[in-house]
Structure 1
Amino acid sequence: MSINKELIAKNIRERRKAKKWSQEYLAEKCDLSAQYISQIETKKKMASLKTVGKIAEALDVSIESITGNPMESNNPQNYEIDLVFDDLNAYERAVLKDVLLATKKALRENKKIFG
């Protein structure tokens, strides 16, 4: 799953406007600041899965309708992982991939040792 910031911003803005809500009103319903809602809608900030969930709940829509991606109910961490990787350049992705593979190997080897 890849994160589409433009789609998320557009979907939040469209759903908010369809309800004729101001950013201030949505922010109040989500216990967020109006400035933060504005930053999400203008793609200056990317919301965490928890925040997208709060916004979706306030707007009475599914997270999927905002992200454009079906969420795996048993693994919502995929969204958060995609957010981490989203703004990395090719070099950073390569280094992080190597670190993760080494970490995975160490975790599995130590699991065998510690049972």
Structure 2
Amino acid sequence: MNLLYKRFGNRVREKRVMIDMSQETLAEKCDVSTSYIGLVERGERKPSLEIVLRIANALSVTPNSLTMDSIKHKATNNKDKLVLMINDFDDTQINTTFEIVNQIHSYIKKDTKKAACDDIDELLSD
């Protein structure tokens, strides 16, 4: 089977284990058999788009996070790099990252305003 499907299956297993969910529970939530989930996790079955969406939904992740390590993305700028970094974070990690970035943003805005005021003061004093 294609390496893409093995990687996808590994990501499904990692996410499932991370939230302490059994294959049986995942199968029930996706309305498929437990053996089918096992085949997907081993990369031995190619799930349809509908099944990929069901799996992602059952695991509370984006479909993208299940395929991210399989798809080669080239980050062309820092904004793209940030998106790629946080793409497979869970909700807690995203919230923590948001709080940190929000604090940095506030600091930079305040610092930029102060620098602008300093520049104006310098111009007026000349």
TM-score by length of 1: 0.56
Q: Which runs of 5+ in 2 are unaligned?
A: 73-126
What one-letter code is carried by the residue in structure 1 that aligns with 2:61? V
Map of 2:25 onto structure 1? 25
Residue 45 (structure 1) shift:
0.6
Alignment of 1:1-115 (within 5 A): 4-68=4-68, 69=71
Name the CA distance, whole Å, in 2 between partners of 1:6 and 1:40.
8
Alignment size in residue pairs: 69
Q: Secondary structure at the match of 2:58?
A: helix
Q: Secondary structure at the match of 2:32?
A: coil
1:53-86 C-alpha deviation (Å, 9 max, x unpaired): 000001000000011249xxxxxxxxxxxxxxxx
Q: Which runs of 5+ in 1 are unaligned?
A: 71-115
Residue 5 (structure 1) shift:
1.1
Answer 1 or 2: higher relative contact order, Cα 8 Å, separation at least 6: 1
TM-score by length of 2: 0.51
Contact kept? 2:6, 2:44, Cα under 8 Å: no
Contact kept? 2:23, 2:38, Cα under 8 Å: yes
Structure 1 outlier segments of 4+, above 4 Å: none
Residue 43 (structure 1) shift:
1.2
Contact kept? 2:27, 2:33, Cα under 8 Å: yes
What is the root-mean-square deviation of aligned Cα atoms in Å?
Answer: 1.9
Name the CA distance, whole Å, in 2 between partners of 1:25 and 1:33.
10
Contact kept? 2:5, 2:44, Cα under 8 Å: no
Residue 7 (structure 1) shift:
1.5
